[in-house]
Amino acid sequence: MTYEETLEKIDTYHRLSREPGLACITELLSRLGNPQSGLNFVHVAGTNGKGTTSTLIASVLTGAGYRTGLYLSPHVCDFRERIQLSGEMIPRDELVSAAERVFAEADEMLTDGRQITEFELITAIALLWFSERKCDVVVLEVGLGGRFDATNVIQDPLVSVIASISLDHTEILGDTLAKIAWEKCGILKPGRPAVCSPGEPPEALEVIRRTALERGCLLTEASVSSISILGSDLSGTELDFGGTVLHLPFLGEHQAENAACALAALGILCAEGWKIAPDALQKGFSSARLPARLEVLSEEPPVLLDGAHNPGGTAALAAALRRYLPGRKIVAVMGMMADKDARQAVENLRGLFSRVVAVVPPSPRGMRAEDFASLWRRTGVRADAAADAQSALRLAFSSLEPGGALVVCGSLYLAGELRGPIQETIAQHRILENRKKK
**Phi/psi of residue 230, each to 5°?**
-85, -30
User: Which residues are registered as beta bridge partners of 137?
Assistant: 68
Q: Where do the H-state alpha helices sit in 245-353?
A: 254-271, 278-287, 311-324, 342-349
Would the pTM of this model clear 0.75, i.e. be above it?
A: yes
Q: 3-287 has which fold?
A: UDP-N-acetylmuramoyl-L-alanine:D-glutamate ligase (3.40.1190)
- Model pLDDT, residue 432: 56
Q: Residue 129 and residue 189: Cα distance in Å, rounded?
A: 24
Contact indicator for 246, 282 with CB cutoff of 8 Å: yes
- Model pLDDT, residue 80: 97
- Model pLDDT, residue 283: 97
- Model pLDDT, residue 434: 60
Contact indicator for 120, 29 with CB cutoff of 8 Å: no
- Chunk the chain into consecutive blocks of 10 residues (it has 438) and report each block's average pLDDT, rounded to whole numbers: 96 81 96 97 94 97 98 94 98 98 96 91 98 98 93 97 84 84 96 95 96 98 93 91 94 87 98 97 96 89 90 90 94 94 95 96 93 97 94 92 94 92 79 57
- Model pLDDT, residue 333: 96
Domain residue limits, the chain: 3-287, 295-437
Q: 295-437 has which fold?
A: Protein-Tyrosine Phosphatase; Chain A (3.90.190)
- Model pLDDT, residue 48: 86
- Model pLDDT, residue 166: 87
- Model pLDDT, residue 19: 77
- Model pLDDT, residue 17: 67
Contact indicator for 98, 129 with CB cutoff of 8 Å: yes
- Model pLDDT, residue 15: 80
- Model pLDDT, residue 286: 96
Contact indicator for 249, 235 with CB cutoff of 8 Å: yes
- Model pLDDT, residue 367: 96
Contact indicator for 426, 433 with CB cutoff of 8 Å: no
How many other C-beta atoms are found inside a 10 Å radius of the C-beta of residue 33? 12
The reply to whether domains 3-287 and 295-437 share a CATH topology is no
- Model pLDDT, residue 20: 81
- Model pLDDT, residue 350: 96
- Model pLDDT, residue 171: 72
